[in-house]
Structure 1
Amino acid sequence: MQIDFINVKAQYQAYQSEIDASIAEVTRSGQFVFGPWLEKIERELADYTGSPYAIGCASGTDAIQLALMASGIGPGDEVITTPFTFVATAETIALIGARPVFVDIDPETYNINPAAIEDAITPRTKALLPVSLYGQPADMDEINTIAERHQLVVIEDAAQSFGATYKGRKSGNLSTIGVTSFFPSKPLGCFGDGGAVFTTDPTIKETIVSLRNHGQGERYCYQHIGINSRLDALQAAVLSVKLRHFDQEIARREKLRLRYNQAFTPLPCITVPVVRDDRTTVCAQYSLRCPQRQQLADYLTQQGIPVAIHYPIPLHLQEAYAYLGYRSGDFPVSEAVATEIISLPFSAFLTDDEQTIIIEAVENYAKQ
């Protein structure tokens, strides 16, 4: 049996008639940028998260950059974030001339550890950028409290957690600004790159609407130095269809996650991901820890089971960020997790039979 790491083909087949009809409607109109499809998905995304405003853009990476730019962050400023995440989180901070400042992670959730944040705050700190990693929101109440105490902006990087909840509220709407990604492998993915920014602040909303379109206000009148980051109509149409089925997919993902956990918890060489009782996860990746990760990866690969590592090298040890002056040992939890983390095949379209094969393979490895 061929097992896909993320089965995007099965998802398309499930909604093919709806998706094809929506794409055909866009192509017949000839309106591929802005227009009614973008307005529609922005309303739907805002309604889904409970946020007053949702602004579509070209990627999750752009969403972070737009949020930082709209917050007035630039050269000389510092933004506190996690070293254990996809590079886009720190990359966007550096690209606008600010300095990423890293804080270590919680050893169970792998999200930024709020208890370590205040020690990293300086007079140059302007924002906190927590990541809701692997689909589970970070400790946002604690983070927002710290931010209020120090008058800092909070931007939730919800690129992996769209659809998850924290104390009954949707990820992306847990601070003044939230961002997400619609990369095809995400729980809610489009047919290419796409992203969105969520905000409760009407001024920030208007600024981001301008920034994503070259800083334009009225046609050919530019209020800001902006970028070209528009969510095109075809992607908006695809997302609108998938969003109708999203809650059903989340329920399936949770069922699969719990089955993995039940099977793997007793295994002595495996640490399963922990989800706090006051929040949910959309499990963007099912990532467990194994001290003998390479041996497990090799064994599963030999059985025809694909694996991935999210993420093998923390950002503070990456060559591109050597200028920040961090060294090995600065963030021991991030470094330890990076040597053990491994992701198994996971999506709402992973079949029960496929999951059984994966579970039995991991169990067989553990018996060796």
Structure 2
Amino acid sequence: MNKELSMEDMLNEVEASMKSVRKGQIVKCKIVSVRDNELIVSTGSMFDGILPRTEININDNVELKDIFKEDEELELLVLHVNTSENEVTLSKKRIDSINTWKELQELYNSKEIFEVKVKEVVKGGVITEIKGERAFIPASQLSVRFVKDLNEFVSKDLKVKIIEFDKEKKKIVLSRREVEAAEVEAKKNSALESINKGDKKHGVVTRIAKFGAFVDLDGIEGLIHLSELSWRKVKDASEVVSVGDAVEVYVIDVDKESKKIALTLKEAKDNPWNNIENKYAKGSVHEGTVVKILDFGALVELEPTVKGLVHISQIEEEPVAKVSNVLNVGDKVKVKVLQVSEENQKISLSIKEAIERPVEDLSEFVDDNDSMGTLADLFKEKLGKLDLK
């Protein structure tokens, strides 16, 4: 039986030795010998196989004997057939490339995220490698933020996905921006769920706009409108905050559907209108500064964040045709409080009522002994002394 098997093996070997190979064919080989710069392999045909080091993806400082062992099986691509020498030149690098492109196609189809290291900066972006193949990341796809210097990414590991893939042209375009944007969106949604109206939050000013300042609240931005930056009037957000400032804010509104958050820097305890009805009690007189002229009156500032209105009818005793004929911005005036409302944050003032009028002394006309005298008698006596001619 053993003799029959041995004969069968011999016949198989003879049959195999008669087999031929052709250029471009993929063959299964077995390592026969490991040398310094090449591998000698059995191709299962009449030809011996040579696998040069240059056709193997291996670092220059790595020895072939440290990677490959005799009798190890490899799948190789036939590069050249030398019939005169009965030798074929093989490539592992090409097979690896074929398999790599299959894997890359799968990565592209699945939109899978993976990590790469940036090798160098080129015009318009950076170069990296995936499984030995060059790939390009355009500058616009490096980050969700503006990138001024591409060199900051060299030697850095980045999480990316393939956004363009062409096997025939060997073209691979990657994006870190899409990965980053998805991470930012996930972080934003998580942060949004933890924010509620009335919360006190710590954040950092990220940008200044004409209408206010944006603040990052650990993954999601909120807006402080100009009117919420201070109790005083603010014309430009930069008067109060700068980009990079750490701030403590209060959440005044949250719209989870539109993902908008309204913030304020103003604390309720600092509200200048608190206890205003006692500070500027009805009937009290104060000094203020005219800060604005209106058609129907003037705004007078009592303190930096508190203003009251002097109606045109409350400027002088005589009718005033035009406010600017009587008052100018910057004028210092005394005003009397006519009405004050803490709830509505309004104060009505009067200039004419604040003017002190001289009171005529009528004591000389009072007869201490005549308790029955009347005020009419006193005026009659006074009028009698006047020369009316």
Which structure has more relative contact order (CA 8 Å, sep 6+)? It is 1
Richer in helix (by share): 1
Would you call these one fold, judging by a TM-score over 0.5? no
TM-score bracket, normalised by the shorter chain, equals under 0.3
Larger radius of gyration: 2
TM-score by length of structure 1 reads: 0.19
Richer in strand (by share): 2
